[in-house]
Structure 1
């Protein structure tokens, strides 16, 4: 069957993966990763309170429904509302993938390649110590002498996804990632996407946190390849854009956060979810849209790689059944 051809529709109960995006480039990247696109579910009457617009298709052996938060509507409240409506309209969703862009927090020691986050890399949320993978770093209380103390914790990704992440890590160690091949094929099939989704020619510049001008570039060794490096760790989520280098660096030092974004905190307790972010900026005053397309499509490429190793069960448990049990 021709890739991305529209075929007969399916029941809403056939869809088991919810893919959530926030921005238009992320939505385009997700749709481009589908192996087939499908018509809306048969006899599908959308709930009057569900304002989502869905795209349906197949990725590998999984039937996937893609949904966005809406133009100009980032943040945890729209994300929470989107997830709630998704589960109401597609009751057999097993888990969610929040896929898109994020701000990378670079390591201070750039020579350590494991921590050397650069533009176009991918960060995947995985549990660390007492955190489930996503940290709502602006949620807490002010205590003695004005000190801010973070309170509460968010849910973590379902075990089946965390095991799939480990499997993908092993595959990458043995044979590398298939993201470059996926990207090449997509740009061949859809040449118009190359305008926004090719790796930018712009230089990847990281500035010192306290001195954001061209005289204070951080000197980093050149990489052997332009292929994205995959990083695993904590992703910080808040209802505000981070444009401050010193605060960004503090979050890495104090909380082990390696990437920042604005939406995932609204999802984690509604839909058992893994967060995948392509790095489009360094969360400082040099933030721009230049890397959005490329960062979106490499994140989507990782998500597709992940789904290839997630088994499709004979009876699909629901998202509620897959929510991690509290310790």
Structure 2
């Protein structure tokens, strides 16, 4: 992907793509059809941007500062984006997340897309509320809905797109190769990680959950509620408790800081099961799979059509 010379101004960019991790940003940049020259920003804007286009839509990509995560950081990033780019029409929060395996057949490498319900706008901020008597916690407030979109559910073309990206960027082969079903291990919700090791080599294999083999390694796209908070979810017990209460499909740490002032469509590649066994083994692949969902297809829906539906045109 070469940088395309041209005259672009701040007002030419209508889509803001926000990533939480550098590896997520790298996957996003790899899928740009064109890379645009950098633009100057105001001294009050501390963000670093990458500019480009996908199917003719001009996109500005920004990442949270290294090592800085959470809803507050995301809110600051978004406010600076809106200050610098006045023509932004909608935002995309694209990254990795932890799945709730009890809510349908969600596997590592799958993708969850936020979808509003009758009571929630696609995102649940589960740590926002007030503590009442008897240590009862009451969640308060509602978050805005994402931009409206019609998602068509068809067979996924993500593997072919990942393969195409690897051909263009051979150095990414190891990062974005499917890890294999044998590496997708789920433990019982009440069984905690045995030690401080980064792998589960010493965890009790008898506490693994038995699941049928899908018979294919194509990522599945799921639509529903995403839980967001200023904390990492690493408890299978609390994960399932909250999921049963709200119908949550996955957990993440940034979207709640965006929705009220910068409504976004939230797309999360599943890299762990939001329990004490979580590790980084699937992060690269899951970053790639959710990027494919956004950049090319949502259920085989071409991005040009998908973005037009998001923007209401």
Q: Same fold (TM over 0.5)?
A: yes
SS at match of 1:268: coil
The question of 1:103 aligning with 2:82 is answered: no
- By percentage of residues, which structure has more helix? 1
Change (3 A) 1:4 1:156: farther
Equivalences for 1:163-178 in 2 at 5 Å?
163=150, 166=151, 168-169=152-153, 172=154, 176-178=155-157
Deviation track 1:170-218 (CA, whole Å, cap 9, x = no partner) reads xx1xxx2221111000011111111222112452110001124322111
Provide the residue aligned with 2:128 in structure 1: 139
Q: Which residue of 229, 233, 248 corresponds with 2:224?
A: 233
Give the distance between the partners of 2:275 and 2:306, measured in 1 at CA: 36
CA positional deviation for 1:311: 5.2
After the TM superposition, which residues 127-276 of structure 1 pair with which residues of structure 2 at under 5 Å, given as runs? Answer: 127-159=116-148, 162-163=149-150, 166=151, 168-169=152-153, 172=154, 176-201=155-180, 203-212=183-192, 213-276=204-267
Listed one character per residue, the Cα deviations across residues 245-299 of structure 1 (whole Å, up to 9, x for unaligned) are 0000111111111100001111111212100000000011111111000000111
Q: Matches of 1:6 and 1:287 in 2, distance apart? A: 40
Q: CA deviation at 1:49?
A: 1.3
Q: 2:292 aligns with which of 295, 301, 306?
A: 301
How far is the alpha carbon of 1:221 from its aligned partner? 0.4
TM-score (structure 1 length as normaliser)? 0.86
The CA RMSD measured in Å over matched residues stands at 1.8
The Cα offsets for residues 146-173 of structure 1, whole Å up to 9 and x where unpaired, read as 11111001111112xx22xx2x32xx1x
**Paired residue secondary structure (1:123):** strand
SS in 1 for 2:86: coil
Q: Secondary structure of the equivalent of 2:162?
A: helix
Separation in structure 1 between the aligned mates of residue 85 and residue 306 of structure 2, nearest angstrom:
19
d(CA) in 2 for partners of 1:295 and 1:7?
Answer: 32
Of 9, 27, 30, 2:28 maps to 30
Structure 1: which 4+ aligned runs deviate by more than 6 Å?
Answer: none
Residues 11-50 of structure 1 correspond to what in structure 2 (within 5 A)? 11-41=9-39, 44=40, 46-50=41-45
Change (3 A) 1:220 1:4: farther
CA distance in structure 1 between the partners assigned to 2:139 and 2:289 by the alignment: 32
Aligned length: 295
Report the equivalent of 1:325: none
